[in-house]
Chains A and B, each alone.
Chain A
Amino acid sequence: MTPAERLYAGLADPQSLADLDAEAWNGVIRVARAEMLMGTLGTRSMGVEILPRARLLLDEAVATAQVRQAAARYELSKIAEAMRDTGIPVILLKGSAYLATGLDAVAGRNIGDQDLLVPEADLNRAETALRAHGWQPAKAKGTYDDDYYRRWMHELPPMVHETRGAVVDLHHNILPRTARLTPRPDLMFAGRVEVEHGLFVLSPEMMLLHCATHLAYDGDFLGGPRNLWDMDRLVRTFTGNEGFWDRLQMAAAAHELTAPLMRALRLAAHLYGTPSPGAMRGRTDIVDRLAIAKLYGHDAYGRQRRHGAAFALFVRGHWLRMPPLMLARHLTTKWRARRREARAAGR
């Protein structure tokens, strides 16, 4: 088995981790760190007897995730406060939504940026409300980047809180305007579910669809194992709901997201044995095979992604000038911004 196979098997069936020796763990830890699944593996493996040093490293990742989740919860309350008097319905997306709903997908997960969906007509008002509460656009208004986001993207440029450094991404749809598929935000708002602080999340089927869409549009299946794990957790949470699969199928058709949904279900079944009705998965195609090669294609160091020399130079320059604390904080922000730009450019 390759380290990636062991990781996916370990997430699906934590007992399988009990058999791993130190060298197997060394491979699994590299892939788990590269794919941001270390904290998740840490929570999944609790109660399983594994090597003590592996336990130590997993517990560190879990503790980090817990601190980040607490901070993310705080951000949610502050966002709610900023939006309270506007009357704008705010739907939390992805990690923020799993956190606010207490879904299984959140266990051990590092939550950074807050992703919010608001009606397009309210976008400017929402931005104004956030600005009044300290979130400022990371890109100066009128610059090329700012213009690019506003014209072509399904979100505004990231907004960064002036004192806390927390990042909010304000979306008006779940796919860029440039995408061929056109999900319908009106239906998303119609089906929204209220959670804490007067904030909302997507309906279960829409939440799953959004997750599936991400996988297909994140380019190069970057972050695929993490995303598919979310799929797996969501499916297992919702599959018991009466009529869930029918509603999912109808929602997929209404939003023209049937193809990405089927692919995501196929890949999740491949990695984690995620259950779904056969008709919802469809047939394997060439893209699946490429994706699978990618999803299992880590070397012994968990290496998969390649970043350009520009990033390399950026970090080098900063390591020399900045105290490491600042570096850590600054880098995570920059790093996230960079990933987003890569996504926006379709790379």
Chain B
Amino acid sequence: MELNRLTIHELHDKIKSGEVAARQITESVLARINAVEKRVHAYIRPLPAEALAAADRADADIKQGNIKPLTGIPVALKDIVCTKGIATTCGSHILDNFIPPYDATVVEKLRNAGAVFVGKTNMDEFAMGSSTETSYFGVTRNPWDLERIPGGSSGGSSAAVAADECIASVGSDTGGSIRQPASLCGVVGLKPTYGRVSRFGLIAFASSLDQIGPFTKDVEDCAIMMNVLAGYDPRESTSVKMDVPDYRQFVGGDITGWKIGIPREYFIEGIDPEVSTAIKNVVDVIEKNGGRCVDISLPHTEYCLAVYYIIAPAEASSNLARYDGVKYGFRAADARDLLDMYKKTRMQGFGAEVKRRIMIGTYALSAGYYDAYYKKASQVRALIKTDFAEAFQKCDVILTPTTPTPAFKIGEKTDNPLQMYLSDIFTISANLAGIPGISVPCGFTKAGLPVGVQFLAGHFEEGKLIRIASVYERNAQLEKRRPCL
């Protein structure tokens, strides 16, 4: 049996019954990493020695009868969450040698739940990208077609789950960076409500949009991961003090009488016909299981991308000002003076996409342009949030494609930033409005590329997403496939 192919809940049962040891599970995952990593490159840094040591500790716990929700489960971490004593690069040369002196809250929580960390995954530099091509450490390939991108920015985390190089993983989502790669790699990915999961120890990109969430092989595992990740953290000022439900109670259940909003603005020209067909099939499954689809409107949808490409770079230009070659990370040699050192360090330390976004953000916040760009974008953001508030008066959840097309080819969009940005067109709105969203696999194109469906719900309604996603997953009768690697 290939243990690395199983889900968290399947492995948990086997650990509980004594059928397998944590060490066997971790060894199985490490063997898979050895076998396929050269082709996929999901990881910046696999952690085999640390993982085996953690697996042995898990086995000691198991012997004592101390079995927690993730005991012995190999989990991968996007290299944007700080890990104490383990290099954390954010996919950037500028953080090349950075070894955090502390753990992110999510890392603490996963470790306390028994997780075994198997590696730090690849990502677009500072999470700026939709394809994992902007990483300083090279591209990650889509396990379903190695000529194609895995999505981004959490492409390493989604590819690692899809290729069975871990059991579950963690990513971050600022404009779609969990849901879009989940869709393109055929796995489940959830972006929680803003404030639901602590951002303490998450390297900041755009602080009013960033949120951490899980990648898993099925919806039940997503609920298990959310039980561990969610919750108030006094170290994070935007973390929300609100009880966390047991998300597993939402797995399965019933959606009879639920109204499913279909936003007409999301079914536009430019959607790949095979994506359209897959989404129509999801609608059929939902309706057969008691959901009723209703036509809704989110009138400001066409402005989301423009708003995002002011707000996210503006916040990034401020957040990334800290990389100055003084306190940590890379410093350029041969500087004439302090200013020259800053400029050379940042020129050599950042890649082109990061520089481009710092430039847009700095311009949008600079004297004379603030009202025209940042204030204007924040006003339109208010309208977008109102769109969703009004839509959720008429429906329980919203259903859309996660992405307009399946995975594109490596290099296809690298010369045209705007074209690249358009691949996040259906995911950005949830970040602007702060609402949760999930992407669930909903079939394959003729060429064998995965397609995902996105469900969106109101603030703190992750439970509804898990319920409808699991009802869909259980009733869709999708063919079980694995990538050939």
- Asked if A and B are interacting partners, one says no
> Residues on B close to A: CB < 8 A?
none
> Residues on A close to B: CB < 8 A?
none
